[in-house]
Structure 1
Amino acid sequence: MISAAVLGGVALVVFLFGGLWSATLLAIGTAAMIWEWREMVVGKGQGLRLRALPMVLAGPAGVLAAGLASPAVGFAVLLVLLGAGVLAERARLRFIVPGVLYIGIAMICIEAMRNDFRFGFLAVLWLVLVVIAVDVGGYFGGRIFGGPKLWPAVSPKKTWAGLIGSVLFAQITGFLFAILTPVPYAAEVALMSALVALIAIGGDLLESSAKRYFGVKDSSRLMPGHGGILDRLDGLMAAALFVAAVSFLRGQNIFLWG
């Protein structure tokens, strides 16, 4: 709880300032998660060798470029450094490359959300609160009602009751968020929050299946009591990708429905 409160407080202040501050924080997190992913794939204790640096730096460089210039520039920087990393790195590329792309693009999407001139901070805050609501609702739904497991082979603790609790609590959180902030269209935000909850759960299951495949319990021990940063942000990244895709297809911010 202490580590979560400290990290959450720092992130809240940084995202409130936005700009280079949020881009730098996201870049640090991106680098850490790519390092964690590479450690999971090639085996812990292998060390960060020089040839792995382009691959590890591809994501954070893309995030910084997105913050300083635009998401398009960020994607370009990510792909260029990823290409350099492919030429240098030869260890299990079929696993490393998709992970770097997934993490890098998701974090660029979060930075792009923050850079929106009207709803930037609110959009990121809403996304984070909804993902937290997913964890809280899932925990209490599973604890109180129990019942059949959702996917025991991948995540033994998750239940169908927990999934329902996650979606309901996320929906309530999104509705209250819209009521208490200048965000319009509370009913639509509540519906989108429920969809985001399902995507976040899918992101959590995706990372859980990867950890089981590679035989690790946590992505790292960077966060006391929480495991790795990848363990904490798996659902958030999936949710960010979904929100970014919806916003792109609709041609407007996720909070605008007129």
Structure 2
Amino acid sequence: MSNLQTRTITAIILGVVTLLITFFGGTWFTLLAIAIGAAVFHEWVSLTAARQTPLSRIFGWSWFALIAASLLWGGGALASIGALFFGAAIMAVLTWKSGKAWPTSGLLYAGLPSISLSLLRGDEPFGFTAIVFLFAVVWGTDIAAYFTGRAIGGPKLAPRFSPNKTWSGAIGGAVAGVAAGTLVVSLLAEPVTFLAPLLAFVLSVIAQMGDLAESWVKRIFGAKDSGRLLPGHGGFMDRVDGLVAAAVLMYLIGAIFAQPDVPSAIFFSI
């Protein structure tokens, strides 16, 4: 079986399972959001092992468990986000001399998307729409960027950070992300206005920036993949780098223009 076939089968299985859990929502989706954050944190700690210490590992995992408990017990946006940044501040003080900002960055990189995804889904009518919209934009961007870049090639997007990504792939990914997000809104929410494609475009761009940022981190630490958890895909972080960035931005937009505890209410207006 070729790597592309393995990659495709793995993606389909994960996609179906993820959508089913998204549909059921509630505690199941919160557990999924926590699992995504835990997998990201595990690979971040392994990738940045040269900058980690026993203290940073123990404190990081302990504090991530605290955030997970807050989400499962319905602590709300203020409690969860406040606890995360309080823990990050403590970790920064404890580990700066040995690890610089890497241990602290890992806690935020894993904790913020877990909180964002959990709060976006919530128990509200538009929670399902919000997450499916987010997935559609990120997955559409990722798939189209991969195949468009391979088919067309051309000038490199950011060779300093990721030598394989091209401008053609980035543009193709953005077009597909906007189309996929707009389709979801047209099927699951109100009639589409210009805000839905605009939001999809912004999320597509930030997802690609998240991908480049993760590639930059891997290059700093001399790694090709972030791990080996997913057959055909490499590491888990390699597959959710775009989702991590887009989920946090979408939560921020929803928190600002709707409510911090009900960010999916933004779909009443787009």
Provide runs of 4+ in structure 1 moved above 6 Å.
none
Q: Given the alignment of the two structures, is residue 192 of structure 1 paired with residue 199 of structure 2, yes or no?
A: yes
Q: Is 2:41–2:109's contact at 8 Å kept on the other side of the alignment? A: no
The alpha carbon displacement at 1:67 in A equals 4.2
- What is the SS of the residue equivalent to 1:254? helix
For residues 97 and 163 of structure 1, the distance between their equivalents in structure 2, rounded to whole angstroms, comes to 30
Please give the per-residue CA displacement for 1:41-85, whole angstroms capped at 9, x wherever unaligned: 1249x9x95762330243353244134321222123334554665
1:75 aligns with 2:81: yes
Whether contact under 8 Å (1:141, 1:161) holds in the other structure is yes
Identity of aligned residues (%): 34
- Alignment partner, residue 129 of structure 1: 136
- Structure 1 letter corresponding to 2:59: P
Q: Is residue 2:118 matched to residue 1:111?
A: yes
1:59 aligns with 2:74: no
Counterpart for residue 16 of structure 2 = 9
Displacement of 1:239 after TM fit?
Answer: 0.6
> Residue 125 of structure 2: SS of its match in structure 1?
coil
Is 1:152 the counterpart of 2:164? The answer is: no
Deviates more, 1:118-127 or 1:240-249: 240-249
Q: Which amino acid aligns with 1:27?
A: I
Instruction: Say if 2:168 is the partner of 1:161.
Output: yes
Aligned counterparts of 1:83 and 1:56: Cα–Cα separation in 2: 15
Which residue is equivalent to 2:49?
A: 42
Unmatched runs of 5 consecutive residues or more in structure 2: 1-7, 260-264
Indicate the larger mover: 143-152 or 35-44. 35-44
Instruction: Answer yes or no: is the 8 Å Cα contact 2:91–2:103 preserved in 1.
Output: no
After TM superposition, the score normalised by the length of structure 1 is 0.88
CA distance in 2, matches of 1:71, 1:106: 12
CA RMSD of aligned residues (A): 2.4
Q: Is the 8 A contact 1:138 1:162 kept in 2?
A: yes
Verify the 8 A CA contact 2:206 2:245 in the aligned structure 1. yes
Quickly say closer, same or farther: Cα 1:93–1:56, change in 2 above 3 A.
farther
CA distance in 1, matches of 2:38, 2:233: 18
The residue type equivalent to 1:53 in the other structure is: I
Please name the residue that 2:241 is paired with.
234
Give the paired residue count.
Answer: 256
1:149-193 deviations in Å (ceiling 9; x for gaps): 101121111111111111111111122112222344343212211
Amino acid at match of 2:81: F
SS at match of 1:30: helix
2:267 paired with 1:255: yes
